[in-house]
Amino acid sequence: VTVAELATQPTSSPSQISLVDLLDRLLGTGVVLAGDITISLAGVDLVQVRLRALITSVRADLDRTAGTPDGETSR
Amino acid sequence: MADTGSYLYAVTRRAVDADLSGSRGLRDEPLRVVQHAGLAAVVSTVGLEEFGEEGLAIHLEDLAWLEEVARAHDAVVSATAALGPTAPLRLATICLNDDAVRERLDLLHVPLKRALDRVEGRREWSVKAFAPLPMAAEVPLDSHLPAEGSLGAGAAYLMRRKAEQAQRERAGEVAANLADELHAALSAPAAASRRLTPQDPRLSGLVGTMILNGAYLVDEADGSAFVEEAQRLSMTHPDARLDIRGPWPPYSFVTLAEP
């Protein structure tokens, strides 16, 4: 799965979770255990940074594959 | 051992070593189960160069890395969830070693057991609703404009802005009421429900304004009835488009209070 597919293609089956839905859940919810080393994503600030980075990446990839059908070329 | 840690995927109730033998952890490391206080944490060893604080800070900015890790994490959570009630951990939860994992299980065993009770025999469904109507004022506002010359350009501009704002507020109110109604109807047959933040259309790739990003915890036996209810809502609300996904592990329903 490429970034272009993430943004342009629905998942093939309803039970297959899309990356966006997965990150929604893996970054925003789930059990929080304070680890000895780092709980990298417990802080809201960090999640926002990540999602901003994600948006930037998606846009860059879309720009790059613009004009090609469904991001097929990047596979 | 200073350069490795234990990456946690999920907590469940019983030892599942044998059942998980078909699955591998991140970087193809074998999975193992750390048991304590009637709980079992599914973990694998990760290198701290990659998964330590500094490594994570760099790698989390890398979408390809993030996707690979998220998919691997999800695969282990799903394999565990197929075997019994499972509390998935947040992405990149890493302890120094297995003793530290046991300490966490000890510290949190009461809320963890409560979370496992809550999700037992249940799966998560996602229903998103999209409003086709434009949220911004796109209807011509010419009728609100004063006749040319009757007012100064500044006053006309202000009136126009005010009318646009009122229209946006009305559209927003309609969408919010619709989202509330849909969420209430979907929550009724569910054991629990949550509203997640609506996704940015650039990320979801889905068209329209997402007015509802709902997560619903549904008894396994009621899955098809839940989908039918969502489809019925879709028919009775042609003004909203629904996207129904699932069933997934109960990611949205295991959040513990911060320890």
pLDDT at position B225 is: 94
Nearest chain A CA: its distance from B219 CA (Å): 16
Give the closest-approach CA distance of B143 to chain A in angstroms. 38
Whether pTM exceeds 0.95: no
The predicted pLDDT at position B20 comes to: 80
Is A14's CB within 8 Å of B244's CB? yes
* B126/A21 touch (CB, cutoff 8 Å), yes or no: yes
Q: How many Cβ atoms are within 10 Å of B119's Cβ, its own excluded?
A: 22
- Specify the 3-state DSSP secondary structure of B88: strand
Strand order in the sheet with B39-47: A38-39, B86-95, B4-12, B39-47, B32-36
Determine the 3-state secondary structure of B210 from DSSP. strand
Task: Please tell me which of the candidates A50, A55, A58 has its beta carbon nearest to residue B60.
Answer: A50
CB-based burial, B68-97: b 16+ in 10 Å, e otherwise: ebbebbbebbbbbbeeebbbbbbbbbbbbb
Written as one letter, the residue type at A65 is T
Selected residue of A6, A18, A19, A21 to mutate for chain B interface (largest B Cβ count, 10 A) = A21
CA-based end-to-end distance of chain A: 7
The answer to whether the CB of B10 falls within 8 A of the CB of B41 is yes
Tokens of B15: 């030892």
Please state, in angstroms and as integers, the Cα–Cα distance from residue B68 to each residue in B31, B44, B60, B73, B214, following that order. 17, 16, 11, 9, 25
> Is A19's CB within 8 Å of B70's CB?
yes
Q: In chain B, pLDDT over 70 holds for what percent of residues? A: 86
Q: How far apart (Å, rounded) are the C-alpha atoms in residues B36 and B109?
A: 9
Q: At what angle do helices A44-65 and B63-81 cross, to 10 degrees?
A: 110
- Respond yes or no on whether ipTM tops 0.90: no
Q: Which of residues 21-60 of A touch B (CB under 8 A)?
A: 21-42, 46, 50-51, 53-55, 57-59
Residues of A in Cβ contact (< 8 Å) with B11: 31
Tokens of B6: 């234990």
Which residues of chain A neighbour B204 with C-beta distances below 8 Å?
A: 7, 18, 20
Q: Report pLDDT digits (tens) over A17-61.
A: 888 888 888 876 555 554 433 333 333 334 444 555 555 555 555
Q: Nearest chain B residue to A18 by CA: give it.
A: B204
Residue B120 is predicted with a pLDDT of 95
> pLDDT under 50 in chain B at which residues?
1, 135-139, 258-259
Token pair 């549904």 in the structure block, residue:
B218
Structure tokens that stand for A10 in this block: 């629905």
